[in-house]
Structure 1
Amino acid sequence: MKIPKEIKCVIFDMDGVIIDSEEIHKKAYYETFTSVGVDVSPELYKTLTGSSTINTFQRLIAHYNLDVKPEDLVIDKRKRYVNFFENDPTLHLVNGVENLIKYCYNKGLTLVLASSSAMVNIDRVFNRFNLNSYFNAKISGADLTESKPHPEIFEKAAILGNTPKENCIVIEDSDNGIKAANDAGIFVFGFKNPMVADQSLKNADFVIDDYNTIKTYL
């Protein structure tokens, strides 16, 4: 897909795109996996990246035939994540993203956050790093019927941004998120986050490793 001639709305993923939180999510997930006695391979975990927490546990319960409620595992994992989040003073925004957010905002572009994380986690990040004033809307995949790689989240993001899809771009770091953007018919930049090495980004319309690259198109 070609990049839009006129970009009016930028749709951001959060984990790995705005904040380098993928590692603490992974720690929280693996502690939860261990608590129910399953050994999740790196290959299987890779396929789960970008999905909502409830969707991840639903798939794992089916895969391992576990006798446990996915909602209970979501609560358990969330507690572990919050513990890591609140006790890790080194947690930081992805390099260059704050500058990009402010650049887009000052140009009058519409900014929408579309993340698979629960809204409580989204708010936790946005409050800690003072991002709320820049965004027109925030969507949590946990509140939707479907999860990435389903396109629902990005279709709704364009609607909330009050912008035709042909004037939107998505910034994603996961293969599931990129597929969701592809299927929504929205141009997607695949961000190669050095902290997220297990995603191919092969279906992104354009792969970047520096947010300054996007500015040249805005």
Structure 2
Amino acid sequence: MTMSSEDFEIRDRHTPDAAETGAGPVIEETGWGYIIRETDASQSLRAAGSVAGRFVGAILLLAAAGLWLMPDSVYGAELFGIKLAAMVMFSVLGGYFFWAGRNALHPEYRIDLEHHEIRIGQRSAGNGFHQSARIDFANVSSVFLLRSKDHRPTRLFLRLADLNTGLEITAGSRVRMEALKQRLTDDLTGQIHQPVVRQLGRHQRVAA
């Protein structure tokens, strides 16, 4: 497998790097590899948004169903157009909120160095793991970063051999993403790497 360290950089030379320092993903070390996930605070916010979105969406969909089942005689023929418009609006908004609620949670990525695979899924409230996808290391062609010209965080992607676009893994400060990118590149190619904490410490010493 051929790996590259390609960076797609969209940045103005006169503009400071986005999110030079600050929050980033949690790297949870395990016996078989490591887990890339959001911070506990971010997960809590997304979980609350997920519940709220599905609740509001369900209410709006029920309202649309109620309008559909209600006899036309209650409104009269002259109000049928208003009823139909309201039903469509509730259906569209309800569907959107419900969809947004279901997709509010960000997946975590388990980098398994023993089985040479990346497992993608959601962590449940009981600390269980529900896997939704699996990627073999051999199917990853490159790891790259996308830097923005504004102050948004640097984003880290995997480019898969059978996809034209990249799969976004996480986002954070430039220094943290560069260190994590190097670690992923080394792990996917089987090279020896330094721990992310040591790499970050080196960058911090240089910056100091």
TM range (shorter): under 0.3
Say which structure is richer in strand. 2
**Normalized against structure 1, the TM-score is what?**
0.26
Answer with 1 or 2: which has the greater Rg: 2
